[in-house]
Amino acid sequence: MRSHLLLFGFSNPKRIFMSASDSSVGEAIGKATEYPIGISFDVAFEAFSVRLTTLSDSELRFDIAEGPYARTETVKITSSVIRPGLFLVSWVEAGGATVVHLEDFAASVIYSHATLPDGTFLRMQAPIHVIDSEKFP
């Protein structure tokens, strides 16, 4: 089991975490046939770092701690299972941004496309690092 050092701008910048594929829980998430509820995972895109927390099958909270996109918001999501461990997730933010994620927990990678209110279109990809999965069965 490998562990990595988390260097995001969150409250505990040296928190130890595991990639989704590094633990038995990560393996379970990678085989999930329903969107995993009760997990938190960090993603370090080139433009910003974000912590995502799945609150229910229809709600997700994101926390961008630093930079021009910094804020925390709870959003209503729609998720679809593409295959075990692979989910298409989308939402509209309060400010009007639209976001679509392809979250591949089996491969520990996320693809994110977002259209900002000013029309800027972001295409991003980064590893998924599950940091909390206490509530995941």
Give the per-residue pLDDT at 129.
95
Classify residue 128 by burial, with Cβ atoms within 10 Å: 0-12, 13-18, 19+. buried
Distances (CA, A) of 61 to 39, 51, 54, 116, 122: 11, 8, 7, 18, 19
Neighbours of 114 (CB within 10 A): 19
Domain count, the chain: 1
State which residues form the domain around 35: 4-132
What six digits make up the tokens of 33?
A: 């046939």
Q: What are 59's strand-pairing partners?
A: 56, 76
Q: What is the pTM of this model?
A: 0.81
Which CATH number does the domain housing residue 84 bear? 2.40.128.20
Task: Tell me the average confidence (pLDDT) per consecutive run of 10 residues in the chain, 137 residues long.
Answer: 31 37 71 95 97 97 96 98 98 98 97 98 97 72
Give the per-residue pLDDT at 7.
31
Give the per-residue pLDDT at 26.
72
Give the per-residue pLDDT at 11.
36
Q: Which of 74, 86, 110, 111 is nearest to 34 (CA)?
A: 86
- Would residue 137 count as lying in a domain? no
